[in-house]
Chain A
Amino acid sequence: MRTTALPAAEATRPRTVVVGALLATGAVFMAFAALVAVYVQQRQLARATGQEWFPEGSVELGPAGMMMMTLVLSMVTVQWAVQAARDEDRPHGFIALGVTLMFGAAVINQFWFVYQDTAFAIDGGRAELLFYAVTGSFIAMLICGMAMLAVTTIRSLMGPFGRDLAHGVQAAGAYWHMCVLCYFLVWYVIFITK
C-alpha cells in the first residue's frame, strides 16, 4: 500500500506567540505587583506611626466598583473576540472587539472622574504620590492592552484567517485578563481597604 500521499503529522508544541505573551504578561504583572507592594508597605508604615493615609471621605468606593464590574464584563467580551477569531467569525469578532474597547475607554473615563473627584496633588505626600503611581501605571497597562487587542483582532479578521493569527488575539486576551487581575488589586488595596 502506498502511503506517500498522507501528510506528515503536525509537530505538537506550545504556541509560540501565546507562550511569549504569557512570559511578557508575567513580567508586567511582577512590575505592577511590586508597585502595589510599595503602596501597601508605606500605608502600613503610616498607620503604624498614627498618620492619616487619605483624608476621610476623599476616596469613594462607588466609581471604583463600577470599574471593577466593567472590567469583569470585558473579560467576557475578550473571550468572545478570541472565540470569534478562532471560528473566523468576522461580524462577532468586530462586535466583541468594539465592546471591549468601549469598556476599556469607559474605565479610563471613570478614572478621570476619580482624579477630578479626589483632587489629589501629586506633590501632596506619600499617599497621593503612590495613588497616582499605581493608578497611572494601571491606565498605561490598560491602554497597551487595548492597542494590542485592536491590532491583533483586526489583523486576524481583516487578513487571511488562520490559526496563527487567532493565537495573537489569544495572547492579547491573556494580557487583558492580567490587567483585570491588576485592577482587582487596585480595587481592593486602594479603594476598599483605603
Chain B
Amino acid sequence: MTLTEPAIADSEAPPSEDGAAAPESSDEAPEAPSVLAQPFVTSDAATVGRLFVVTSLLLGAGTSVIGVLLSLGRTEAVAPWDLFGGFNAYFRMWTLYRMSFMLLVVMPLLLGVALAVVPSQVGAGNVAFPRAALASFWSWLIGAVIIVVSVFAGGGWGAIDGVTGNESDAMALTLLGTGMVIVALLLGAVTVATTVISLRQTGMSLLDVPPFSWSMLVAAAVWLFTLPVAIANLVVIYADLRGRPAIAFGRAESPDIWLQLDWLVEQPAVYIMAVPVLGIAVEAIGATVGARSSRPEAITVIVGLFGLLAVGGWSQDYFTAPQDLRDGLVYVAFGLAAVLPLVALAGGAAELVLRGTKTPDRLLDVRMLGAGAALKLLGAAALVGALRVIEPLDLLETTATWAVFHGVVAAGLIAGVVALRNWSHELLIGPLSVVVGRGAVALLLGGGGLLVLSDLISGFLADAPDLMALSLDGSAVLNVVAFAGSILVAVGAAAAALGAVSALRTPLTAESEAG
C-alpha cells in the first residue's frame, strides 16, 4: 500500500454482493448457510433488516384486521362484546391493536429499514453488532408471539369485568412478551446508533450523515430515553400482579394495568415512531427529483427538534392526578410545538421539489407520492395533537387521542412502502411493483385520513371522556366513516405486505439497483 492509497479499516471494508462485510481472504470464506438456515445464523444486517420489514408488514396486515373488527364494533351493526365474546375480550383486542401497531408493526418496520440502509449510507460494510441485530430480531419475534398468544389466551394489559386465575397468569405472560419486544427494539436501536456514531467513514461528521441515518440516530436516542421507562412500568405492574392482594396500583380486574402503559401510545411518546419518517420522506423526495437540500443542516436541526419533542417517559399521568400533568405548561408546550418541525420540514421538502427536476413521471413516482402522503398524515396528526392540548376544547380524554395515533401509524406504514421502493437494493429485494406501491400509498392515505378525521370529530362531539368510543358519538355516520377508514388501512397494509413478499421472490434488476 502506498501513502496515496486510502486506509481502509475493517469496519469500512467494501461490502460483498450480498451486503456483508468482505471476508479477509477468499481461502477463509465460510460456506454460505442454506436458505432455511440463513435467518438463524446470518451476520448480515441487510438480511436481518429484511426479516424485520417483511414480518412487521405481515403483522401490520393482521393488526389492521383487528382494527376493522373494532371499528365494526363502534357502528351499531353489532355490539362489540357480542363480536368478540365479552367485554373483556373486546378490551383485550382494543389494547392489542394499539400496542401491536406501535411495538410490532411501525417501530420494527422502520428499524428493519435502518438495519439494511444505514451501514451503506455511512460507509460501513455492516452494522456495528451484527449478532446483536439478529438477536434483536429473534427476541422481538418471540416476544411478539408471546404477546399475541397470551392475549388470545385471556391475558392482555388488564381487564374490566374481572378475570380468572388462569387469565391472570396469561396477563403476566403478556407483560413478559411486552418487555421482550421493548428490549429487542432497544437492542436494535443501540446497534443502529452505534453504527452511525462509530462506523462512519473517516472524515464524515455527524452533520454530513444522510437525513435517514440522522433521523434513525435521533430516533434511537429517543427510544433509549423513552422505552426503558415503559420497562420500569412493566416491573411495577408485574410485582403488583404477583403481589396481590396488595392491590397497590392496578388490579387485574380493572383497566389500571393499561392505564399505566397508555402514555406510550399517546402524545408525545407516540411520535417516537415517526422520527424516521422524516428522514425517509426527505431522502425519497430528493432521490426522486434528483436534488439536494441547500440547507442540510436545517434538516438536521428539524429532525433533532422533532425527536426532542417526542421524548415522552415523563408524560405518564397514572401516578399523579391527571389534571396536574396534562394541564401543565410542559405538556401543552410539547403538544403545540410538535407542529413546528413538521411545518419546517414541509418547507424543506417543497424546496427540494422546486430545486429538482419536475417531470410528471417523477412527480407521480411512488416515492414522491408516498413521502408527500406520509408528511401530510404526520402533519395532520400533530395538528390534532396541538388541538388536543388546548384545554377549552376538552379533547384530552376523547377519541382525538386516537386521531393522533392513527395519523402517526398510517404515516409510518406509508414511509415503510416508500423505503421498500427507494432502497430495494439495500433491502436485497426486487423493486416493489409501481401499481402495488401507488395502491398501498393511496389506501393508507385515504384510510388514515378518514380515521384521523372521524376520531377528531368524534372527540369534539363527545360529551364526556370516552377513549373507547363505545357510548359515542352523536353521529352514527362518523362510526361508519371510521369503519371505512379501517378497511382502507387494512387493505393498504395487506397490499404493502403482499408487495414486499412478492418482491422477495423477484430478482434484483437494473431498475431496482438504479433506484
Segment with Cβ contacts to B, from A16-24, A81-89, A182-190: A16-24
The listed residue (B7, B187, B224, B231) touching A26 by CB distance below 8 A is: B224
Chain A residues positioned under 8 Å from B364 (CB to CB): none
Contacting residues of chain A (10-59) with chain B, CB-CB under 8 angstroms: 10-16, 19-20, 23-24, 26-32, 34-35, 38, 41-42, 45
Question: Considering the chains assembled together, what is the distance between the CA atoms of A106 and B220 in angstroms?
Answer: 36
Question: Considering the chains assembled together, what is the distance between the CA atoms of A123 and B5 in angstroms?
Answer: 68
Contact code string A141-179 (vs B, CB < 8 Å = 1, else 0): 000000000000000000000000000000000000000
Question: Considering the chains assembled together, what is the distance between the CA atoms of A131 and B1 in angstroms?
Answer: 62
Residue B225 CB within 8 A of the other chain: yes
With contacts A30-B228, A31-B231 taken as known, whether A23 is within 8 angstroms of B190 at the C-beta atoms is yes
Chain B residues positioned under 8 Å from A14 (CB to CB): 197-198
Chain B residues positioned under 8 Å from A6 (CB to CB): 3
Segment with Cβ contacts to A, from B21-29, B162-170, B237-245: B237-245
Residue B477 CB within 8 A of the other chain: no
Q: How far is the CB of A148 from chain B (nearest CB, A)?
A: 14
* Number of residues on chain B facing chain A (CB within 8 A): 47
Asked if A13 and B198 make an inter-chain contact with CB atoms under 8 angstroms apart, the answer reads yes
Asked if A24 and B190 make an inter-chain contact with CB atoms under 8 angstroms apart, the answer reads yes
Question: Considering the chains assembled together, what is the distance between the CA atoms of A31 and B229 in angstroms?
Answer: 5
Tally the A-B contacts, defined by beta carbons under 8 Å: 120
Chain B residues positioned under 8 Å from A27 (CB to CB): 186, 190, 224, 227-228
Question: Considering the chains assembled together, what is the distance between the CA atoms of A31 and B186 in angstroms?
Answer: 12
Question: Considering the chains assembled together, what is the distance between the CA atoms of A42 and B249 in angstroms?
Answer: 10
Question: Considering the chains assembled together, what is the distance between the CA atoms of A41 and B229 in angstroms?
Answer: 15
Residue B471 CB within 8 A of the other chain: no
Chain A residues positioned under 8 Å from B3 (CB to CB): 3-4, 6, 8
Asked if B235 and A35 make an inter-chain contact with CB atoms under 8 angstroms apart, the answer reads yes
Question: Considering the chains assembled together, what is the distance between the CA atoms of A137 and B228 in angstroms?
Answer: 13
Q: How far is the CB of B318 from chain A (nearest CB, A)?
A: 9
Chain A residues positioned under 8 Å from B194 (CB to CB): 16, 19-20, 23
Question: Considering the chains assembled together, what is the distance between the CA atoms of A13 and B123 in angstroms?
Answer: 13
Asked if B9 and A11 make an inter-chain contact with CB atoms under 8 angstroms apart, the answer reads yes
Question: Considering the chains assembled together, what is the distance between the CA atoms of A110 and B225 in angstroms?
Answer: 31
Residue B12 CB within 8 A of the other chain: yes
Chain B residues positioned under 8 Å from A133 (CB to CB): 235-236, 239
Asked if B232 and A35 make an inter-chain contact with CB atoms under 8 angstroms apart, the answer reads yes
Residue B83 CB within 8 A of the other chain: no
Asked if A38 and B128 make an inter-chain contact with CB atoms under 8 angstroms apart, the answer reads no
With contacts A6-B3, A11-B202, A122-B243 taken as known, whether A38 is within 8 angstroms of B232 at the C-beta atoms is yes
Chain B residues positioned under 8 Å from A13 (CB to CB): 198-200, 202
Asked if A123 and B244 make an inter-chain contact with CB atoms under 8 angstroms apart, the answer reads yes
Asked if B198 and A15 make an inter-chain contact with CB atoms under 8 angstroms apart, the answer reads yes
Residue A130 CB within 8 A of the other chain: yes
The listed residue (A8, A16, A38, A137) touching B198 by CB distance below 8 A is: A16
* Number of residues on chain A facing chain B (CB within 8 A): 42
Contact code string B125-166 (vs A, CB < 8 Å = 1, else 0): 000110010000000000000000000000000000000000
Contact code string B1-44 (vs A, CB < 8 Å = 1, else 0): 11101110101100000000000000000000000000000000
Q: Which residue of A lies closest to B6 (CB)?
A: A8
With contacts A23-B190, A30-B228, A35-B232 taken as known, whether A124 is within 8 angstroms of B246 at the C-beta atoms is yes
Contacting residues of chain B (307-357) with chain A, CB-CB under 8 angstroms: 313, 319-320
Residue B233 CB within 8 A of the other chain: yes
Question: Considering the chains assembled together, what is the distance between the CA atoms of A24 and B132 in angstroms?
Answer: 12
Residue B248 CB within 8 A of the other chain: yes
With contacts A10-B7, A38-B319, A42-B319 taken as known, whether A123 is within 8 angstroms of B186 at the C-beta atoms is no
Residue B193 CB within 8 A of the other chain: yes
Residue B191 CB within 8 A of the other chain: yes
Question: Considering the chains assembled together, what is the distance between the CA atoms of A119 and B393 in angstroms?
Answer: 51
Residue A129 CB within 8 A of the other chain: yes
Asked if A4 and B227 make an inter-chain contact with CB atoms under 8 angstroms apart, the answer reads no
Chain B residues positioned under 8 Å from A11 (CB to CB): 7, 9, 12, 202
Contact code string B243-286 (vs A, CB < 8 Å = 1, else 0): 11110110000000000000000000000000000000000000
Q: How far is the CB of B106 from chain A (nearest CB, A)?
A: 20
Q: How far is the CB of A188 from chain B (nearest CB, A)?
A: 18
Residue A113 CB within 8 A of the other chain: no
- The listed residue with most A CB atoms (<10 A of its CB), out of B6, B200, B243, is B243
Question: Considering the chains assembled together, what is the distance between the CA atoms of A27 and B12 in angstroms?
Answer: 28
Asked if B186 and A10 make an inter-chain contact with CB atoms under 8 angstroms apart, the answer reads no
Asked if A8 and B239 make an inter-chain contact with CB atoms under 8 angstroms apart, the answer reads no
Asked if A4 and B246 make an inter-chain contact with CB atoms under 8 angstroms apart, the answer reads no
With contacts A6-B3, A10-B9, A11-B202 taken as known, whether A129 is within 8 angstroms of B228 at the C-beta atoms is no
Asked if A30 and B224 make an inter-chain contact with CB atoms under 8 angstroms apart, the answer reads yes
Chain A residues positioned under 8 Å from B199 (CB to CB): 13, 16
A sample of 23 cross-chain residue pairs with beta-carbon separation below 8 angstroms, ordered by A number, consists of: A3-B2, A4-B3, A7-B1, A8-B6, A8-B7, A16-B129, A20-B129, A20-B198, A23-B220, A26-B224, A27-B224, A27-B227, A34-B229, A34-B231, A34-B233, A123-B246, A125-B246, A129-B239, A129-B243, A129-B248, A129-B249, A133-B239, A137-B235
Please provide the 9 A-B residue pairs with the shortest distance between their CB atoms, ordered closest to farther. A8-B7, A34-B232, A31-B228, A123-B246, A30-B228, A122-B243, A34-B229, A20-B194, A11-B9
Besides the known contacts A10-B7, A20-B198, A123-B244, 8 further A-B residue pairs in the complex with CB atoms under 8 A apart: A7-B1, A20-B128, A27-B224, A27-B227, A34-B232, A129-B239, A129-B240, A129-B243
